[in-house]
Amino acid sequence: MPHAPHASTDLSIEMFGRQLVSPLTVASGTFAAGREYAEFTDITRLGAVTTKGVSLTPWAGNTGKRIHETASGLLNSIGLQNPGVETFCEKDLGWLADHAPDLPVIVNVSGHTIDDYVGVIERLEREPAVFAYELNISCPNVDAGGMVFGTDCTAAAGVVAAARAATKRPLIVKLSPNVTDVTAIARAVADAGADAVSLINTLLGTAIDPLTGRFVFDRRVAGLSGPAIKPVALRMVWQCAQVLDIPIIGMGGVTGGCDVVEFLRAGATMVALGTVNFGDPGAVGRILTELDELCARIGVTHVADLIGTAA
Amino acid sequence: MSCMCEQKHDVDAPIRAHVPIGAGAYALTLSAPALAARVQPGQFVEVGLNQPDLVLRRPFSVFDTDGETLTILYQALGRGTTRLTAFRPGTVLRVAGPLGRGWPASDPGARVLLVGGGIGAAPLHMLAVRLSGVDGTQVTLIQAARTAEALAGCDRLADAVDTVHYATDDGTRGHQGLVTEPVAAALEAGEYDVAYVCGPEPMMQAVSALTVAAGIQTWVSMERLMACGVGACLSCVLPTRSGQVRVCVDGPVFDAQEVDWDAARSSRVH
């Protein structure tokens, strides 16, 4: 053994009154509901799994190319393709119940209208496995709903209030970075009853084929993720932490344990892995190991002690 | 096809050999026994390139295996494959696989037509080797590329089959012109039970139109831009007669009659 063993860090954190095994979750849409990655990594080491966006009815997603790799980043235009909440409950929640019954499940809820969001939540209220909802009001890849709700304080508060009335379960609101002042939206959704915010969703971008002059994506614009956006994400998490009393789930370009520590220090209680899962299907296990070693190096015995310690 | 429930692996795979094979193409051999022991003809692997600014791995079909190593053939086209050309033997790459559903087996004694275009012919090699060991199976290969030099990179493919015809754009080897012409001639001259086709998408569409019209069961290996390679991200969806499917886990091999070729056009890679 090249390294002397150290006393393992306590990686557990408390979220919504429940003790979770680690501060890690995954960014919605990068991990399906966990099944595809279970062959590569122990998904039960996640504090919670966050599912792909679920809508009331099946959504076909976008036509044309759906991804385009950029320098240290990835543009995507998936368009929230999903089979609808009924199939989700049967297949995804069914698989999780059989294979990871103790893994808390955060369901990402998508909609075109307020009634859509409420309809999905009402259906999911009958599913005991759901730990929390994450309202997706920030997807840049759909026309109706999506980011339209997430870039306007009044619209955001409206959808959150309606969802709040539909459930007593913890309600997380996923915020868009495509705004002038993210703290204004964050405050609006907190005032409307959100129990936590998660940020950031993808940054709006585009790409053009230099030879043909054609836009790469049928919708022209797409969402940028990956290490390229990490400094922006970290800044926004820190800004929100200054003005909010509710927990924050930080995400955007995390590729290693160092990034997780940065987000925790910026004020996040949990940190989500997104694009990194594509390049490393074993990212969950690897990053937890790195986090553990880094905590030992820093000298904290409990990972939660890092939250909000940036000075 | 039966459920391909074999375990997938993500391993450190040292480069054993890496050689140019002409016309801007390379053969890369990786030591990966856990994958090599399981890979089936037509399956692929996701290769990490150790480049922090490239966030995705690259999917490559497997050309050959000796049970311990995997060989892939690739054309240096984009940022990833261009950088890959510089990697020397000994370099360790992260490789996940085997992934996807490969070529379905044909019945023993089948009359088989293989049609390959450019570097896209690579996934047919393991299949040809497998079929050459089946008594009574007759395999005809029609291989096309831009030039004779481009054909040469895949020349081991011809060693594993009974009959071979070539077509090149410039006439430097075999028929000069489109691959559909020797395919039509072969269908005229003989009878086939099953066709396996891999190459650029317009070529697969044109070839499978001929083979399907001749009543031949036709399998094609589809390509789409891929992020995760394991079925999670929905980047590589393909429109089919039975709805949208994922190339990475539902394919890459599909029944040519299932593919909605016209709807697929907007998301073509090549």
Interface test mutation site (partner A, options B77, B233, B244, max chain A beta carbons within 10 A): B233
B179 belongs to a structural domain: yes
What is the pLDDT at residue A51?
Answer: 98
**Within a 13 Å sphere around the CA of A186, how many CA atoms are in the beta-carbon half?**
26
Q: How far is Cα B231 from Cα B31, in angstroms, rounded to an integer?
A: 25
Whether residue B206 sits in one domain with residue B252:
no
What is the pLDDT at residue A1?
Answer: 41
What is the pLDDT at residue B182?
Answer: 97
Q: Is B228 within 8 Å of A71 when comparing Cβ atoms?
A: no
Whether residue B112 sits in one domain with residue B189:
yes
B2 belongs to a structural domain: no
What is the pLDDT at residue A131?
Answer: 98
pLDDT band at residue B266, thresholds of 50, 70 and 90?
Answer: very high
Give the domain ranges of chain A. Answer: 13-61+80-208+225-306
Q: Cα distance from A71 to chain B (closest Cα, Å)?
A: 5
Whether residue B207 sits in one domain with residue B107:
yes
What is the pLDDT at residue A149?
Answer: 86
User: Which residues of B are less than 8 Å from A65 in CB distance?
Assistant: 225, 266-267
Interface of B with A (CB under 8 A): 7-8, 10, 48, 52-57, 79, 94, 96, 225-237, 244, 249, 263, 266-267
Q: How far is Cα A29 from Cα A26, in angstroms, rounded to an integer?
A: 9
pLDDT digits (tens, 9 = 90+) for B246-256: 999 999 999 99
- Of B56, B235, B266, which has the smallest distance from its Cβ to A279's Cβ? B56
Q: Which CATH number fits domain A13-61+80-208+225-306: 3.40.50.450, 3.20.20.70, 3.30.9.90, 3.40.630.30?
A: 3.20.20.70
Average pLDDT over residues B149-174: 92
What is the pLDDT at residue A294?
Answer: 97
What is the pLDDT at residue B94?
Answer: 97
Q: Is A32 within 8 Å of B227 when comparing Cβ atoms?
A: no
Task: Report the CATH number at residue B22.
Answer: 2.40.30.10
Whether residue B194 sits in one domain with residue B144:
yes
B3 belongs to a structural domain: no
Q: Is B52 within 8 Å of A227 when comparing Cβ atoms?
A: yes
> Cis before residue B252, ω within 30 degrees of 0?
yes
Q: Is A69 within 8 Å of B234 when comparing Cβ atoms?
A: no
Task: Report the CATH number at residue B267.
Answer: 2.10.240.10
- Of A37, A66, A279, which has the smallest distance from its Cβ to B48's Cβ? A279
pLDDT digits (tens, 9 = 90+) for A149-194: 888 999 999 999 999 999 999 999 999 999 999 999 999 999 999 9
DSSP states of B212-261 = HHTT-EEEEE-----SSSSSSS--SEEEETTEEEEHHHH-BEEETTTB-H
The 8-class DSSP code of residue A252 comes to S
> Cis before residue B98, ω within 30 degrees of 0?
yes
How many domains does one find in chain B?
3
Q: Which of A139, A153, A240, A295 is catalytic?
A: A139
Whether residue B208 sits in one domain with residue B108:
yes
Task: Report the CATH number at residue B188.
Answer: 3.40.50.80
Interface of A with B (CB under 8 A): 29-32, 36-37, 39-40, 52, 60-61, 63-69, 71-74, 76, 78, 81, 218, 226-227, 275-282
User: Which residues of A are less than 8 Å from B226 in CB distance?
Assistant: 67
The ipTM, to two decimals, is 0.94
Whether residue B111 sits in one domain with residue B90:
no
Catalytic residue flag (residue A139) = yes
Boundaries of domain holding B254:
222-270
Nearest-5° Cα angle at A8, A6 to A14: 155
Mean pLDDT of chain B: 95
Encode chain A (311 residues) as per-residue pLDDT tens digits. 444 445 589 999 999 999 999 999 999 999 999 999 999 999 999 999 999 999 999 999 999 999 999 999 999 999 999 999 999 999 999 999 999 999 999 999 999 999 999 999 999 999 999 999 999 998 877 776 667 788 899 999 999 999 999 999 999 999 999 999 999 999 999 999 999 999 999 999 999 999 999 999 999 999 999 999 999 999 999 999 999 999 999 999 999 999 999 999 999 999 999 999 999 999 999 999 999 999 999 999 999 999 999 99
Nearest-5° Cα angle at B242, B239 to B245: 45
B27 belongs to a structural domain: yes
pLDDT score of B1 more than 50: no
What is the pLDDT at residue B6?
Answer: 62
The 8-class DSSP code of residue A101 comes to T
Whether residue B125 sits in one domain with residue B94:
no
pLDDT score of B102 more than 50: yes
Q: How far is Cα B210 from Cα B77, in angstroms, rounded to an integer?
A: 30
